[in-house]
A = this chain, B = another copy of it.
Amino acid sequence: MATIQDVARDAGVSTATVSRVFSAPELVLETTRHKVMEAVTRLGYEPNFAAKSLRTLRTEKILVTVPDISNPFFSQVIRGVEEAALAAGYSVLLGDTRHEETREEQYAAMFRRKEADGLIFLGHRLPDVLAEMVAAKGPKTPIVNGCEFRPGLAVSSAHIDNERAAAEAVEYLYELGHTRVGAVTGPLASPISSDRLNGVLAAAQRHGRASALRIAIGDFSIESGVRQAGELLDEPGRPTAIFCFSDEMAMGALEAIRQRGLRCPEDVSLVGFDDIRFAQYLYPQLTTVRQPKEQIGHEVVRLLLDILADRTSTLQNVTLPHQLVVRSSTAPPSA
């Protein structure tokens, strides 16, 4: 591949001029610019990224780590990230951590090696090396958290109000007349789960139904939905409504309901979380809490770009709107 030297020689100018044609064309005479561009196309020149990056100390890349890309919720968020990043001239380095700490650390090392200008993590853990970095550099550290919010991490973030969203979901169930409600959570280590659980508990208490509330702990996967919802359904005093902390688990719950010869919503109402693309095409169409997935992606990029452009000096924790989308998987309990 041709270098800037080749172009300079071919065009009969210095490398500085060639460089300027790309980064500050207004400083270069129209005619020379033409000469240079001709040489560029003739030689098929593209500026070498590593060289540019070394000199400028910028990569124009954003590293995004996600617990599981094959999860449609995350892939929608990433889509938003990718879109906003591209619009700002950044590209996305993707890291699938598979919920594994070692992988999170590998990607943390990449970030420290300056393979990306900023880091967006969609999980709830921040590897130690990065936590140190945050402690040292404060709110100007180009690290942003998406979907989750853990105040102790001291990074900016964009997310919904998980506690309120979950509370609204079960409140809706109580208002329909359900009294025995079950909830299938995600791993409680993540705020996304514990916050939602708090919301569920608070709502149950407000309605005086705390003692009839049943909790099962899942891991957001379809399979855990089948299993945990199944256990709830098999207990004496079967719940008439189940709230799953993800749509995938709700899909699993639907399966568990069918396996037991029960019907949704006649026998068991079901509420999911996220509103992934598939939720409205399930049978019955799933009532769920919509998260503004692409918007979270956009917002998280905006926060990061603000830090990178030095436009901000304080932490920002942005709460985006959620919405309970009522479809056909919920109904009043049958008499």
Contacts and interface: CB of A to CB of B under 8 A. Distances in A.
Interface of A: 1, 44, 46-51, 53-54, 57, 59, 61, 69-72, 75-76, 78-79, 82, 86, 91-96, 103, 106, 109-110, 112-115, 129, 132, 222, 251-252, 254-255, 258, 277-278, 281-283
Contact of A277 (B49, B50, B59, B70): B70
Contacts of A132: 44
19 contacts: A1-B114, A48-B113, A49-B53, A49-B115, A50-B51, A50-B59, A54-B54, A69-B69, A69-B75, A70-B76, A71-B75, A78-B94, A78-B96, A79-B96, A82-B96, A91-B110, A94-B94, A251-B281, A278-B278
A335 to B, nearest CB: 26
Contacts of A91: 93, 95, 110, 115
B54 A51 contact: yes
Contacts of A49: 53, 59, 110, 113-115
A69 B73 CA distance: 11
Given A254-B283, A281-B254, A112 B1 contact: yes
Given A50-B50, A54-B54, A75-B75, 8 more contacts: A1-B114, A48-B54, A49-B114, A50-B51, A50-B114, A70-B277, A71-B75, A91-B93
A75 B71 CA distance: 8
B86 A78 contact: no
A102 to B, nearest CB: 10
Nearest to A281: B251
B222 A277 contact: yes
A94 B82 contact: yes
Nearest to A54: B50
A207 to B, nearest CB: 31
